[in-house]
Every structure is written in structure tokens, then in C-alpha cells.
Amino acid sequence: MLSELPSGDDALIAILRGVLPERAARVAKVVFAAGIRVIEVPLNSPDPFASIAALAHDLPADCLMGAGTVLTTDEVRRTHAAGGRLVVSPNCEPDVIREATRLAIQVLPGIATPTEAFCAIGAGARHLKLFPAISYGPRHLQALRTVLPSGTYIFPVGGVAPEHIPDWLAAGAAGFGFGSELFRPEYSLAEVAQRAQRLVHALREARRRLEAQ
């Protein structure tokens, strides 16, 4: 069964770039306890497939986890073999999307333009990563959404600050990915927990206010 990326109050992706395999499960459990249900280990982290295997073994079944910075179909297959159920890319590579779909794991390709978005959709993606979000802004997302098919979900990633979440939600963001705002290798578990809780609260409060308007 293809696990779905959430698009409600828990639509946050924790990007654990640089996490070590021996620490991956402890960090992920702290993030999960704060309310984040999607976790990615970028493949430019130390021994990333070992970290993904650790997460697959130790995290609850309702945690969607897998690899980030996935560029090739071989990396999709290695993610699947390690137990990952998610692949996230910084770019739109149709073969990566098709291979993830074939293996029944969720895929979040990176896009910036309508051309890239429709290329990803044509390959089978329904969830898209607007990256780097800081380069484009909420108005760019709002314009993109006017031409994309219904049922397309966009996750801004890269440079989104918690205080800007309301503007992105108003523009139609389905969720967000957070890297250094949430995790760096030097952060303690307590600091990761605090940051995760702050992000979850910021998203929920922003949704509450948007719905009250």
C-alpha cells in the first residue's frame, strides 16, 4: 500500500541532514514524539542507508520515513531495500518518480517552475516539493497553484521560517519540510525536541487562524 504524505496539522517533514546512524533512531523518536510524522535522511549524510534501516526498525508504523536528495533509480531501490517508504528529491527526474511508484513508496520530487511541476505530475507525482522555497516565496506558489490540477499538494522546503508559515499556508501550501531550522548534528536531543515542538505549534496555530478567517 502506498503511504500518503499528510496534508493537515501534521504535514511537516523533518530533514535529518548529517545525522549519524548510531544517533538516527534517538533523534527521530524525539521528532516523532513532538508530532512530526514524516522523516527524511538525506543521502549526503554519513552512511544514510544504515540510518534509514535503523528508523525502519525502531519507529512506529505510522511514521513515513525514507531518503532525501535522491537522484537516481538505484538510490530509490536502495532506499526501498533499507526499509524506507519515502524518497525526496531536489529536482524532477521522471525515472525516479516512476521507480518509486513501481515500488509503492511515496515520492516528493523537487520543482520550481510550471514546466517542472507538470513533468513531475506526468510521471505520476501528486506531492511536489517547491525548492528552494526561499528563492520564490508565497506569491510564486500562489501563481503555480492556479494552473496545477486539483489534488496536487505542494510542500515548500528550503529557507522557510516559522513566522512565515501563515503566508505560505494562505498561498496554498499543503505542508513544509524543515532542515537546519529543526536539526543539525550538533543539536542536543533536548534542543531538537524544543525546535520540533515549536514548528508543530506554529503550523497548527497558523492553520487555526486561517480557518477562522
The rounded distance, in Å, linking the Cα atoms of 145 and 157 is 16
Which cell numbers hold the place of 191? 534542543
Catalytic residues: 40, 129
The rounded distance, in Å, linking the Cα atoms of 158 and 150 is 24
Cα–Cα–Cα angle for 114, 116, 121, rounded to 5 degrees: 90
Q: Is 86 exposed, middle or buried (0-12, 13-18, 19+ CB in 10 A)?
A: buried
Which cell numbers hold the place of 30? 524525539
The rounded distance, in Å, linking the Cα atoms of 144 and 201 is 27
Q: Is 147 exposed, middle or buried (0-12, 13-18, 19+ CB in 10 A)?
A: exposed
